[in-house]
Amino acid sequence: MNLRRLSEQVALLKNPQRSDQFVRQFRNAVRDGVFDATELPERFELPKQYAKRGQDAAYSKSVKEMVFEINPAFEQWFDELDNQLTQNKRTRKIKPSLEAFSKGELDFKALAAATRAKMKASEEKGKKLGATRKGRKK
């Protein structure tokens, strides 16, 4: 059997700052039965460095060590997850403004339809609330 420690697998990540996400996904996969792993009594430090706002010092977190079997299914799972974690998922949210609509960054028709639906829902909620209060008067 070809076994490996979780700490060794974390060291193979392309982006070590996403190691906490990887460990979370790894534990979820074990819980869901995607592959088998067992916990060890020791812990290891994640390579991710955390920083508290307003402080210069960085710190890291530790997680429980695990051992798992390496097989082709795990390798495929790891490669897919590592690629997902490497991609930058943060995208700038564009605030609605006249400039954003005129540049074509936002779809005016879609946002207008969403606004209309929101306003109708609010009106219906108000009517429903008013109708229930009407029945309570004596």
Cβ–Cβ under 8 Å, residues 65 and 42? yes
Condensed to tens digits (0 to 9), the pLDDT of residues 32-85 reads 988 899 999 999 998 888 888 888 888 888 999 999 999 888 999 999 999 888
- More confident call, 93 vs 20: 20
Average predicted confidence (pLDDT) for the chain: 87
Which pLDDT score is estimated for 89?
64
* Identity of the amino acid at 59: Y
Which pLDDT score is estimated for 42?
95
CA-nearest of 96, 87, 69 to 4 is 69
Structure-token match 């490996």, residue found: 4
Cβ–Cβ under 8 Å, residues 43 and 62? yes
Could you tell me whether strands 58-59 and 62-69 are parallel, antiparallel, or unpaired per DSSP bridges? unpaired
d(CA 51, CA 49): 7
Which pLDDT score is estimated for 137?
59
Task: Give the helix, strand, coil percentages of the chain, each rounded to 5.
Answer: 55, 15, 30
What is the arrangement of strands in the sheet containing 3-5, beginning at the earlier edge strand?
3-5, 62-69, 37-45
* Segment among 6-10, 18-22, 57-61, 71-75 with least mean pLDDT: 57-61
Total-model pTM: 0.60
d(CA 98, CA 69): 56
Calculate the CA 76 to chain-centre distance: 21
Which pLDDT score is estimated for 1?
76
Q: Please determine, for residue 25, whether its predicted confidence score (pLDDT) is greater than 70.
A: yes
Cβ–Cβ under 8 Å, residues 16 and 50? no
- Residues 115-135 have a mean pLDDT of 88
